[in-house]
Amino acid sequence: MSGHMAARARAGFRPARPGADPLGSVFAALLGLGLLALPLVTARPNRIALGTPLMAWSALPLGQALALGAVLGCVAPLLALRIAPGLRLAAGSAALGLLCLAAGWAADHLTPPGDRYGRISLDAGWWLAFATAGLAAGDGLARLRPSPALQIGALALVAALVGLVLRSGFWDNLSVLREYVGRSDTFGREVRTHAGLALSSVAAAALVGIPAAILAHPVPTLRAALLSVFNVVQTIPSMALFGMLIAPLAWIGRTVPGAADLGIAGIGAAPAFVALFAYALLPVTAATVAGLDAVPGPVRDAARGVGMTDRQRLVQVELPLALPAILTGIRIVLVQNIGLAVIAGLVGGGGLGVYVFQGISQNAGDLVLLGALPTVAMASGAAVLLDAVIDLSRGRAADRTP
């Protein structure tokens, strides 16, 4: 490790100025509220019956309940103090790990042997405590200002740990995983469909929006008109846009030769893709325009001074310097489209929204979670990966700027 990196690592665990931390105090209060005033889990005899909310001390065996209380009783006061970012990260991570263990312990403790119908669902107290611990850990990590490699490494570690726990069967008695068991044959397909819709729509928007921004950027009136047209799409509610596309795409599928063979129809993936593509155009185009606007004038003048053509200036100078802004727009729209792709389940487009809307119609909250939780995980992972790429591009852009 270089001297700079070693100093940075030591700073992450250097004691902070004594006193209370305002944000950490909020974390501590929410953690205590979640575990002391709200139920940890809800137990139901079957999928549709009313459940019984249980506090942490009722849902867990005595030993595990004492362990949970002891560890979190130390973590909460620690978070409330001004501590080094590394300690905040460690405290938040410890709380996250213990809450994940508590979920499995409660499900095993409350599920009778051989019972295939009972449902143990995580309740408000667990979710509030888990979200608070996650925010505390994320706050500590952000204050450390991790390098791109560390960001990707942390994401890979979390993904590996979650994968190992899922494969171990430790959470199998939780109701959301019991919902998965009944749909394991279709789950992978819906995940691939969801990811494919989000990624392909963003890629198509980048292929259209970036060249359009480059062409329109030198002409202020054309640039304003382009952004205004794309902005109109953003004003249409997502449900309305999906519905508006059904009739024209159905007509195209019926009348245009070969369109139906390509999957173009009023119901299915086509309206979902077109709507997501339309929503992605403005952020990508606006980010490209902003990035080109931010290129310093002296850099452009220097490029002209050495005899570069307009094309050479664009490819070798302006686009590399604008790349961080362009990638920021792509990051925003990718996270947005991963979430919006849930609505594709309403128009027959598939994806994780299928489980969300099935769960809503059946009043099955855990089936909703089966679709929602992977969507959140997918969006969070995409955000972390693109944040790392953006940080790398900023470093390279800084090297190009005199």
Q: What is the pLDDT of residues 66-77, one digit of tens each?
A: 988 888 888 888
223 and 74, same structural domain? no
Q: Any idea what the CATH number is for the domain that residue 269 is in?
A: 1.10.3720.10
Instruction: Tell me whether residue 386 is in a domain.
Output: yes
Query: For residues 253 and 181, is the Cβ–Cβ distance under 8 A?
Result: no
Which portions of the chain are predicted below pLDDT 70? Answer: 1-18, 259-263, 265-266, 396-402
CA-wise closest residue to 269 among 370, 321, 343: 343
pLDDT tens, position by position, 223-278: 888 888 888 888 887 777 777 777 777 777 777 777 666 667 667 778 888 889 98
Q: Confirm whether 176 is domain-assigned.
A: no
Same domain, 135 and 271: no
Instruction: Give tens-digit pLDDT for 341-356.
Output: 998 888 778 889 999 9
Query: Which of 164, 193, 225 is where one domain is finished?
Result: 164
CA 266/CA 26 separation, integer angstroms: 48
88 and 18 in a single domain? The answer is: yes
| Distances in whole angstroms, Cα of residue 199 to Cα of each of 156, 239, 331, 382, 398 | 20, 20, 11, 10, 29
Q: Output b/e per residue, 318-349; b: 16+ Cβ within 10 A.
A: bbbbbbbbbbbbbbbbbbbbbbbbbbbbbbbb
198 and 136, same structural domain?
Answer: no
Domain-embedded: residue 170: no
Domain span holding position 120: 3-164
Do 231 and 137 lie in a common domain?
no
| Pair (82, 194) in one structural domain | no
Residue 172 lies in a domain: no
Q: Are 148 and 203 part of one and the same domain?
A: no
Please tell me whether residues 259 and 344 are part of one structural domain. yes
User: Number of folded domains in the chain?
Assistant: 2
What is the percent of the chain where pLDDT is above 70?
92
End residue of a domain, out of 134, 164, 194: 164
State the pLDDT at residue 370. Answer: 93
Confirm whether 50 is domain-assigned: yes
pLDDT at site 396: 66
- Residue 270 has a pLDDT of 81
The last residue of one of the domains, among 131, 164, 197, is 164
Q: Are residues 83 and 198 in the same domain?
A: no
Instruction: Examine residue 235 and state whether it is found in any structural domain, yes or no.
Output: yes
pLDDT of residue 18: 63
Instruction: Find all residues with CB under 8 Å of 123, minimum gap 6, and list them.
Output: 38, 39, 40, 41, 42, 53, 54
Question: Are 204 and 57 in a shared domain?
Answer: no
Note whether residue 112 is domain-resident. yes
125 in the same domain as 91? yes
Asked if residue 178 is part of any domain, the answer here is no
Do 216 and 142 share a structural domain?
Answer: no
